[in-house]
Copies of this chain bind each other. A is one copy, B any other.
Amino acid sequence: MAPEVGRAAGSTAPRSADVALVAGVSRKTVSRVLNGERYVSDEARRRVLAAAEELGYRLNHAARALASGRTRSLGVVALGTAGYGTASLLVHIEQAARESGYALRVIYTPDGDPEGIAGALASLLEQGVDGVVVSEPIVKGDVPVRVDVPVLFIGAPPAPAFTATRTLTVSVGALELARAATEHLLDLGHETVHQLAGPRQWYATKDRIEGWQAALAARGAHEPPLLNGDWSAASGYAAGRALASDRSVTAVFAAGDEMAIGLIHALREAGRRVPEDISVVGFDGNPVFAYVSPPLTTVRQPFDAAAREGIRLLVHAIEKPDAELPPTGQPPVELVVRGSTAPPPSHRGATALRTT
């Protein structure tokens, strides 16, 4: 079917030269068409496309990357647990990147510690990525890597000693979300709100603590000591067992939905009712927890908006290194009130008296 076109008839995959031959144009014109550049006649474009189609031509990204110095790909350093947050963020990052014409290279780092992140970054950089996305890393410690591409941090400011050409940050509004969660509980009439926090060295934990503190301080509420978890339901359960015997606790803000689920389970096992005796609000917004008993009140992390916004920023920094960064909007603060929160027993008691 295809005419004998030099090597194109051979055994190897067709190259741009073969397409050029079939289309009757130069390789550069093929390149122009494939890259959507201007200054190509409609006729030439049509012929190139037809030839590429006929030959089953597939562009070689490695060659393009070598010649152009750009890979049109982004590296992602993902935190290693298959939690809803990480997974959801990754899905949205991939989609946003793809829509901007970038492919994704992913490395998981179970702990998110500086060494792990440094290693992941080094590997990504070797592979040749035009930019890197790091989500919510650890608070302390240097990341001892020379990074010569823009780096986007999702959800937290970059570690202080991090050295990169250009560092970008996009917020998920964790502080505001934590404040909203705490305020919701305070509004319900609780005197104060305990927090079941994540590992202390995570940025994500820090923001949530600060938002909670801010809400407490604004109402003049006493700030109880933090409870510690590791994001897992099991750790929430452990914290709940410890907490159950303290009758003064009427409201808990858990820094993650799964911890909230574990916490509630322990509380109920110990005979404390949720939300009648203790209210619990989670953090993340995994829709499945609308279907447990009680349905979990939570705040939704705007992973979709953050990913879109972040990738927009990153792509901008890659493609227009010298331009100003575009302005970024405030992430939405979305409180999802379901069944795990209610007024404290004291209020309910009053209500009960009235209605009895």
Kindly state the separation between the CA atoms of A258 and B287 in the bound complex, as whole angstroms: 10
Determine if A82 and B71 form an interchain contact, defined as CB atoms under 8 angstroms apart.
no
Does A44 touch B at the CB level, under 8 Å? no
Determine if B288 and A258 form an interchain contact, defined as CB atoms under 8 angstroms apart.
yes
Instruction: Kindly supply a per-residue 1/0 record for chain A positions 98-110, scoring 1 wherever the CB is within 8 Å of any chain B CB and 0 otherwise.
Output: 1000011111100
Does A40 touch B at the CB level, under 8 Å? no
How far does the Cβ of A242 sit from chain B's closest Cβ, in whole Å?
Answer: 15
Does A197 touch B at the CB level, under 8 Å? no
Does A131 touch B at the CB level, under 8 Å? no
Collect the chain B residues with CB atoms within 8 Å of residue A61's CB: 62, 126-128
Does A80 touch B at the CB level, under 8 Å? yes
Collect the chain B residues with CB atoms within 8 Å of residue A13's CB: 148
Does A73 touch B at the CB level, under 8 Å? yes
Interface residues of A (CB under 8 A from B): 13, 56, 58-63, 65-66, 71, 73, 80-84, 86-88, 90-91, 94-95, 98, 103-108, 122-123, 125-128, 146, 148, 232-234, 236-237, 258, 261-262, 264-265, 268, 287-288, 290-293
A-B contact pairs, 9 of them (CB 8 A): A13-B148, A58-B126, A61-B62, A61-B127, A62-B65, A94-B108, A106-B106, A234-B287, A261-B292
